[in-house]
Amino acid sequence: MTMRYSLVNGEVLNQITINDRGLLYGDGLFETLLLDNQKLCLWPYHYQRLAEGCRRLGLAIPSESLLLDEIKKVINQAETTRSVIKLLLTRGPGGRGYRASHAGSSATRIIQLFDAEEYDYELTEQGIGARICDTALGKNRKLAGIKHLNRLEQVLARSEWQQKDIREGVMLDSDAYVIEGTMTNIFLVMDNFIVTPELKECGVHGIIRRLLIEKQKLLPFPVQIRPVQKQELYAAHEIFFTNSLIGVWPVQQLENHRYDTVEIGRELGRKVKIWQNDG
The H or E element that residue 252 is part of is strand 247-254
Using CB under 8 A as the binding rule, the residues of this chain from 27 to 46 that contact a second copy are 27, 30, 32
List the end-to-end C-alpha distance of the chain, in Å, as a whole number: 25
* Catalytic machinery residues: 32, 147, 180
Residue 70 in the binding site for a second copy (CB under 8 A): no
Interface pick for a second copy out of 156, 190, 223, 225 (rule CB under 8 A): 156
**Residue 113: phi, psi to the nearest 5?**
-115, 130
Q: Which is nearer to a second copy, 177 or 275 (CB)?
A: 177
Residue 12 in the binding site for a second copy (CB under 8 A): no
Q: Which is nearer to a second copy, 8 or 195 (CB)?
A: 8
| Residue 96 C-beta: closest distance to a second copy, Å | 5
Residue 60 in the binding site for a second copy (CB under 8 A): no
Residue 90 in the binding site for a second copy (CB under 8 A): yes
Residue 104 in the binding site for a second copy (CB under 8 A): no
**Cα dist from 60 to 112, 116, 139, 198, whole Å:** 21, 30, 25, 28
Residue 98 in the binding site for a second copy (CB under 8 A): yes
Interface pick for a second copy out of 36, 64, 153, 267 (rule CB under 8 A): 153
* C-alpha–C-alpha distance, residues 216 and 182, integer Å: 24
Interface pick for a second copy out of 159, 229, 261, 277 (rule CB under 8 A): 159
The H or E element that residue 268 is part of is helix 263-278
Residue 164 in the binding site for a second copy (CB under 8 A): no
Residue 185 in the binding site for a second copy (CB under 8 A): no
* C-alpha–C-alpha distance, residues 203 and 78, integer Å: 31
Residue 154 in the binding site for a second copy (CB under 8 A): yes
Cβ neighbors of 50 (< 8 A, separation 6 or more) are 29, 31, 61, 87, 89, 147
| Residue 102 C-beta: closest distance to a second copy, Å | 12
SS3 261: coil
How many Cβ atoms from other residues are within 10 Å of residue 91's Cβ? Answer: 25
* C-alpha–C-alpha distance, residues 67 and 109, integer Å: 8
* Contact by Cβ (8 Å): 53, 88: no
Residue numbers of the site for a second copy (CB under 8 A)? 1, 3, 6, 8, 13-27, 30, 32, 57-58, 84, 86, 88, 90-91, 95-100, 103, 110, 112, 114, 117, 135-143, 148-159, 174, 182-183, 201-202
